[in-house]
Amino acid sequence: MASASFDSIPSLNKAWIYSEYGKSGDVLKFDENVNVPQVKEDQVLIKVVAAALNPVDFKRMLGLFKAIDSPPPTVVGYDVAGVVVKVGSQVKKFKVGDEVYGDINEAALEKPKNHGTLAEYTAAEERLLALKPKNLSFAEAASLPLAIETAYEGLERAELSAGKSVLVLGGAGGVGTQVIQLAKHAFGASKVAATASTGKLDLLRGLGADLAIDYTKENFEDLREKFDVVYDTVGQAERGLKAVKEGGKVVTIVSPAPPAILFVLTSTASILEKLEPYLESGKVKPVIDPKGQFPFSKTLEAFVYLETSRATGKVVIYPIP
């Protein structure tokens, strides 16, 4: 397929970028003159409409993965939803005008892209992107990729299957809200339990949790019932070992983890494509924090909110002009 594009693509674009490691409030800056990335033969250029923030964004900015990171300057952001405006010569899956979404970094921590998604334009390999479900807004679509792919991969690694039970630690967070829904609808769990603070218990039930546990009032490891799988999103894997059945599995996305299964997401559009029927039917829904939609100009405030660790579901930047 020959390279195709919009004629009006600029050479420079507006973006949020950091040139040294540190706290977001100290190092993240708005820059109106960042180079639009060049598109490789297997990539598409996306006019970004919405992007989502993830804890990995500010942890990377802090320099926690410095040894394996692509060094700054870095445009922040992993999750994107937008419109294809240019395709590389080898791209077969998409054409100019397609509405797409995805997590643009195949490896989350190992040499991720220097030009992320908090910009007017970003580039990504076609294998990392899927067509945006028609029933989702750009903001809703942007909220999903990293979280829903992480949720799915963790449940696969834990070998959750129909008839098994699962306990989700941190059920109201970006990943946790998706774990609850996928466990119930995509994996056929017989029972889904999840932890959250008092005000978020109804949300857990609404997402499909059979048992909503208020962690401010009870310790999940004291429950008489034990679970086939414990999925830890908040760094409580050691406690999770006390809640798992003999022969069951604890999976976590927070280190240190032993002897739980610790993993870092490998992004791929195949999961998004596999889950499309659940998203289009509304069985699995995006969860955006009620206060968590910020305009592009308020990206710093969005990071301040994310860094409180109190957000419900995802924090999204929309619209991106």
Tokens of 232: 């830890």
Do 160 and 118 lie in a common domain? no
CB atoms within 10 A of CB 197: 13
Residue 313 burial class via C-beta count within 10 angstroms: exposed 0-12, middle 13-18, buried 19 and up: buried
Do 258 and 177 lie in a common domain? yes
> Is 70 exceeded by the pLDDT of residue 3?
no
Do 105 and 161 lie in a common domain? no
With cut-offs at 50, 70 and 90, classify the pLDDT of residue 258. confident
Is residue 238 a part of any domain in this protein? yes
Is residue 19 a part of any domain in this protein? yes
Do 292 and 225 lie in a common domain? no
pTM for the model:
0.97
Do 244 and 171 lie in a common domain? yes
Do 125 and 19 lie in a common domain? yes
Range of the domain at 252: 151-262
Do 21 and 115 lie in a common domain? yes
Mean pLDDT of 39-48: 98
- Are 104 and 82 in contact, with CB atoms under 8 Å apart? no
Q: What is the pLDDT of residue 256?
A: 83
d(CA 155, CA 185): 12
Mean pLDDT of 242-248: 97
Percent of the chain with pLDDT over 90: 96
Our count of domains for the chain comes to 2
CB atoms within 10 A of CB 90: 12
Q: For the domain that residue 254 is a member of, what is the CATH number?
A: 3.40.50.720
d(CA 16, CA 25): 12
Do 187 and 296 lie in a common domain? no
Mean pLDDT of 151-176: 98
Do 122 and 20 lie in a common domain? yes
Is residue 275 a part of any domain in this protein? no
Is residue 139 a part of any domain in this protein? no
Q: What is the pLDDT of residue 1?
A: 37
Mean pLDDT of 202-218: 98
